[in-house]
Chains A and B, each alone.
Chain A
Amino acid sequence: MVNCHAMEQWHSHLLRERVDQSSLVIQGNRACALGALDAGVRFFAGYPISPSSEIMEAMAYELPRSTGVFVQMEDEIASIMACIGAALTGEVAMTATSGPGFSLMQEGIGYAIMVEAPIVIVNVMRVGPSTGRPTAPSQGDVMQARWGTHGDHPAIVLAASNVADMYRLTMAAVRFAQRFRSPVILLADQLVGQMRESFSPELVGRYRLTSGDFDFTPTYIRPDLAREVRNPHVLGEGVHPHVTGLYHDETGFPTNDPEMSDEFLRELYNKVAHHRSELCLYDVKNEGKGRVCIVAYGSCARTARAAWKLADEEGLPVEVLHLYTLFPLPVEIVQQVARRVEFMIIPELNLGQYAHEVRKMAEQWTTVIGMNKIDGTLFTPREVLDRIAELIGKYESV
């Protein structure tokens, strides 16, 4: 309640008055909603689901007050399709959900990719298949985010590890969606979504990452950049395009021509693949000084960072590669790190979904070891360190 009030105060000020902003204690899901609003999201359609509903609640509160549109739809399928409809008119649209809803959205995600609709889908992950445990965190939807919808397709997937990330990566997601005219999936989990942390809006503008500085000033969102990647077809605005999920040529009309079909899908694929350096956000801690690298994303990156600090005190040579972008695969940085470390250890709240991807990229140079948990609890830094110590010991005893 307190946080809701704080959000209302701060956000209203942010939108309408420039005032001195002090630090806030705010929930991750609310920070996501703030990030969306500040990034220019003016359309939200969603369906309630734990543990993501607070995003929707915040949007329901804010959007009608700021010339935006909020609709609570009849299900998640309708939610994503309404977002696509709005995106086709040039709006920046967003929806938020959790595992079961994310499963329902998959066909819509494929359609958004095909028609190049810029939408943001936030998936606050819960543990397990089906209903699972709605109030426990996991990272079980990583491969679904990549390959959930049918057919070969490109994917842009980001992962948030704290409350500030929920704000900043939502902004990044909006930017990527607009620039690449593609759905962007932001993965969070129950922990990151529902935890409260102090969050200073003043720090928002400066986001220093190893992959490059991120500038979150208002000029950050530039829809015109999209034209660089591919011609947008926006309904209204003097044009009357045809939009279809069928293979289509540059006129927008369906084609069965094999050559055109090939060209069409490869172009969709390459618009993401060819901009990997721009899309891949990551941070390296203790760069070049570790024998072991902890590769982590989402809430596990919190554990990784804490483990690194602990390792520093104990004299263990540990590097951390914190990935903010999971897909497209950050091939360059993973291979760069893989060349210099003896082990890569990947703590994940799933049965090794991303470790498998890292293994594909890195096993030529290093040993990739997964640590997995699916019981709805987190790794402690100690657990990770113990495993590292064990591995180093084993390695030295050989």
Chain B
Amino acid sequence: MPMDGSLKTIYRARLVSLSLPLVGFALGLLLWEVLVRASGQSAHVLPGPLQVVTSMGELIADGTIFKHAVASLFRVTAGFYLAILFGIPLGILLGRLKSAWHVLNPVIQFLRPISPLAWIPLAMLWFGIGDKPAIFLIFLSSFFPLVVSTTVAVGAINPVYFQVAANFNLTRLEVITKIVVPAIVPSVVTALRITVMIAWVVVVAAEMIAVQSGLGYLILDSRNALRLDYVMVGMIVIGMIGLILDWAMRRLGRIEFARWNAGQG
């Protein structure tokens, strides 16, 4: 029966696409183990995969890892949402108002290449210690990329759509809600996907200063205690959460509202 045959083909393809990434991870673990054995270093300097898994079990059992992961995720979420709240409206404004763009764009382009980490001293001075300076740094890391990509997305809207809007007497507000916002959704979702990764990278660095929690703090604290296995646990959890964030943002790109350009590739 041809139906069964084609179903089998589909399932086989799916099995392959699911198992190949696991092969990649397995190869990485193998390489890690081989390196540990070949280097002859002690477990304190270069812990092997097995030891790191055991240590991860410890940190999971006593809940430490969850506490730190939640703390990091909270800061990323707060900073990221603030960046969305301010960055996207500003991007729309700059994209629609030529004069605002001419005034503000040079300043934004000037501030953009300054690493958020360069702001650490100022952030600590302004916001003291605790969550606030870390959130501020996350905000900075996401804000400028979001402004710039929103502005570009607004500028790339086909002018025909604005003529259609004028033809059907849309008000200024309707032009924003019915034309501009839906038109930029696909590019903004892509920008969010890239930006959340930047934010996630920056949070670890931000947590190495002025806070007592978070995955960055875990790594720094474990290094001070010479527990490199815990350092590696921290790195692995960061990687895993990063994968999940990226997956979640890709799901966001698949909702119908963001898919109107599907036909245009």
A, B from the same assembly: no
